[in-house]
Amino acid sequence: MQYAGGIDVGGTHTKIGLVERNGRILSQTRIQPDARGSFDGLAKAIAEALQRLHAEAGGNLSSIGIGNPGFTDRRTGMTVGGAPNVPCLHGNSLSGYLGSRFGVLARADNDGTCAAAAELAWGAGRGYPNFLLITLGTGIGGGLALEGRVVRGARGFAGEVGHFCVQQGGYGCVCGGRGCLEQYASASAILRLYQDRRRQRCLPLDPSLSAEGVLAAAAGGDGLAMAAASEAARAIAQVFGSVTNLLNLEACIIGGGLSQAGDLLLRLVREAIPDYVWPLFAENLRVLSAELRNDAGLLGAAALAWEALPA
């Protein structure tokens, strides 16, 4: 039995699993190492968890894939920036550590790029060789596939759609720019858009409300929540439309935690996207929800591992 190791590194917890070439997860576990501690501590905890799974499975570990938050130099596996929730990764190579420890090929990539690889191999992108994936969570990530291959760019950093400008002179962003998609369509942005509308009308604010709660309220007929959801959807549609005009995409895929909060956001994006796409390009364009959901990160890392091996 042959399998790849998939590792989805997060700020709160890390998922580790063994995945066959067809995308079937043989086994998985979740650990909570100290993401703000030392790199050696994090790497050792991940290696030990993977070793336990490997020993229990008793098969052949062919390769290891790692989905990292932030920017990863694909040549070295080193995290070179953009991972504030796992600061110990910066300047270190988890793929180098694990590859040496297990004696197999190990690769690391951005988690959004890994998610696109997973959707291409086993999810919503299977029938669409040309698509853009936007992952909606606390922030926004993404990945791009063209002609059946994930696009990584000159240094492997491609897919940062969260920092497309959708509003000139808009809200300031952590990247230093203004008006980025992340400031209009992430979970925190949707919550802020809704709370701002309530504040303007001197309505009470619910400190326990989440972005998912805003979308649920919108689906239930709350006009202010619907306005916030519609503004976010138009920003997403603007990015999807712009990239489609540039690259003639076949599909636009919405993933991440918010993609699981009902169909409202997906419907609103579908309704808005014709305003941003050349009509000929829009004729067969599909707007879809990602399929892999909670396993997307783990499967994306495994897809990266399998991608590196001969078919």
Q: Please write the tens of the pLDDT for every residue from 83-127.
A: 777 889 999 999 999 999 999 999 999 988 999 999 999 999 999
- pLDDT of residue 309 exceeding 90, the answer is no
pLDDT value of residue 98: 97
pLDDT in tens, 126-139: 999 999 999 998 88
**pLDDT band at 259, cuts 50/70/90?**
confident
- Find, among 196, 267, 268, the residue nearest to 233 by Cα: 268
Give pTM, 2 decimals.
0.88
Residue type, 158: A
DSSP state letters, 111-128: HHHHHHHHHHHHSTTTT-
The most confident of the ranges 44-53, 84-93, 251-260 is 44-53
**pLDDT band at 49, cuts 50/70/90?**
very high
pLDDT value of residue 199: 95
**Do the Cβ atoms of 4 and 107 come closer than 8 Å?**
no
3-state secondary structure of 227: helix
- pLDDT of residue 311 exceeding 70, the answer is no
- Separation CA 78–CA 287 (nearest Å): 34
How many helices (H) and strands (E) in the chain? 10, 12
Task: Please state the length of the chain.
Answer: 311
- Separation CA 72–CA 190 (nearest Å): 28
- pLDDT of residue 257 exceeding 90, the answer is no
- pLDDT of residue 33 exceeding 90, the answer is no
Mark out the alpha helices in 201-293 (DSSP H runs): 211-219, 223-247, 264-272, 279-282
Which residue ranges make up each domain of the chain?
Answer: 2-110, 124-291
Angle between helices 211-219 and 264-272 (to 10 degrees): 70
pLDDT in tens, 276-307: 999 999 999 999 999 998 788 899 999 999 98
Reading the block at residue 16, the tokens are 């580790």
Domain 2-110 and domain 124-291, same fold? Reply is yes
Place of tokens 């690769």: 107
- pLDDT of residue 19 exceeding 90, the answer is yes
- Separation CA 251–CA 264 (nearest Å): 18
pLDDT in tens, 166-196: 999 999 998 889 999 999 999 999 999 999 9
- Find, among 246, 240, 248, 234, the residue nearest to 283 by Cα: 248
CATH of 2-110, one of 3.30.470.10, 3.40.630.30, 3.40.50.300, 3.30.420.40: 3.30.420.40
The CATH architecture one would assign to domain 124-291 is 2-Layer Sandwich (3.30)
